[in-house]
């Protein structure tokens, strides 16, 4: 099974098949598992992928400032058109 990880610090994505956890190769931060399966991820446009990555980095900023996002911690969520 191929997993999609996204860095909450810099937004870099990483696809891995054997690891259950991953560190970002760009900044070294612990990456978060994306809740979009690989089979769907590869169907997303570049803009949609960037939007998913951007939402995760935005959530990280909100966590650091203490704002409640109304979402549970975990992976990045994909909302078509949103």
Q: How many domains does the chain have?
A: 1
Which domain, by its residues, includes 60? 3-65
Model pLDDT, residue 59: 66
Q: What is the pTM of this model?
A: 0.70
10 within some domain: yes
* 82 within some domain: no
pLDDT tens, residue by residue, 9-36 = 999 999 999 999 999 999 999 999 999 9
**Residue 40 belongs to some domain of the structure:** yes
Report yes or no on 17 lying in a domain.
Answer: yes
- Integer angstrom CA distances of residue 73 from 2, 20, 26, 45: 22, 17, 23, 25
Tell me, yes or no, whether 15 lies in a domain.
Answer: yes
Report whether 23 contacts 5 (CB < 8 A). Answer: no
């Amino acid at each position: 099974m191929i997993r999609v990880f996204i860095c909450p610090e810099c937004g870099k994505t990483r696809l891995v098949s054997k690891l259950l956890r991953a560190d970002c190769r760009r900044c070294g931060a612990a990456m978060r598992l994306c809740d979009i399966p690989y089979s769907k991820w590869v169907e997303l446009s570049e803009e949609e992928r960037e939007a998913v990555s951007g939402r995760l980095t935005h959530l990280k900023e909100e966590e650091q400032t203490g704002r409640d996002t109304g979402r549970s911690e975990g992976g990045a969520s994909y909302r078509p058109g949103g």
